[in-house]
């Protein structure tokens, strides 16, 4: 059971058909230098904590949202993250507290996007604790791979090719914002 849910969480975050999670994590990383990897890992862990909270609440039928609303909110989280990367105050200490808080809140939203499927997977499980824990460990491992690849590409671009960090951030955040905007326009929420 543990391995099954672990694999599901891992595949969930790395599934290219559901690339919104990948895009969110990439946008989350864009503003940071490779030397700030600890901050990035705390951010993605805050996201995972938020994600697991809504999966649990949904599995227990405490929280229910219309899929169209979540389909709209997920790309909105990506757009807000990308815009904050461009206009936010990265260096301020309260800026990090805001980013951790937003990562967790955005994790709530992303968790709702998968909650109906997770609830169906749970089926007749006696407890949600084991499946939820192993699933979210898989999510976290998948996110660490995304962080590793994004930070690695950042090193290539900023250290080897000598592109300024600001330009890298603008490129990645701009691309994420553009894709998120298209997803917002295509959302069935309208």
- Other beta carbons within 10 Å of 137: 17
Closest by Cα among 117, 138, 154, 143 to 47: 143
Q: Where are the domains of the chain?
A: 2-186
Non-local CB neighbours of 152 within 8 Å, separated by 6+ positions: none
Structure tokens at 55: 């999966």
| pTM score of the predicted model | 0.92
Q: Which residues contact 151 (CB under 8 A, 6 or more apart)?
A: 29, 32, 34, 37, 40
What is the sign, positive or negative, of the torsion defined by CA atoms of 10, 16, 18, 20?
positive
Full pLDDT tens readout for the chain, 190 residues: 899 999 999 999 999 988 999 999 999 999 999 999 999 999 999 999 999 999 999 888 899 888 899 999 999 999 999 999 998 755 555 578 888 999 999 999 999 988 888 888 887 778 889 999 999 999 999 999 999 999 999 999 999 999 999 999 999 999 999 999 999 999 876 5
């Amino acid at each position: 059971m543990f391995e099954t849910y672990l694999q599901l969480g891992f595949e969930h975050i790395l599934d290219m058909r559901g690339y919104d999670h990948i895009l969110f994590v990439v946008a989350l990383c864009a503003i940071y230098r490779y030397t700030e990897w600890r901050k990035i890992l705390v951010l993605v862990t805050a996201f995972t904590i938020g994600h697991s909270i809504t999966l649990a609440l949904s599995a227990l039928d405490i929280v229910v949202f219309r899929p169209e609303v979540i389909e709209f909110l997920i790309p909105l989280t990506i757009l807000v993250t990308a815009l904050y990367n461009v206009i936010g105050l990265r260096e301020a200490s309260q800026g990090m507290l805001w980013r951790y808080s937003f990562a967790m809140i955005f994790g709530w939203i992303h968790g709702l996007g998968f909650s109906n499927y997770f609830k169906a997977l749970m089926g007749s499980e006696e407890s949600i604790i084991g499946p939820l824990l192993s699933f979210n460990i898989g999510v976290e491992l998948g996110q660490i791979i995304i962080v590793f690849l994004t930070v690695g590409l950042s090193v290539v671009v900023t250290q080897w090719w000598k592109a300024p960090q600001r330009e890298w951030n603008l490129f990645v955040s701009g691309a994420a914002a553009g894709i998120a905007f298209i997803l917002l326009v295509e959302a069935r929420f309208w």
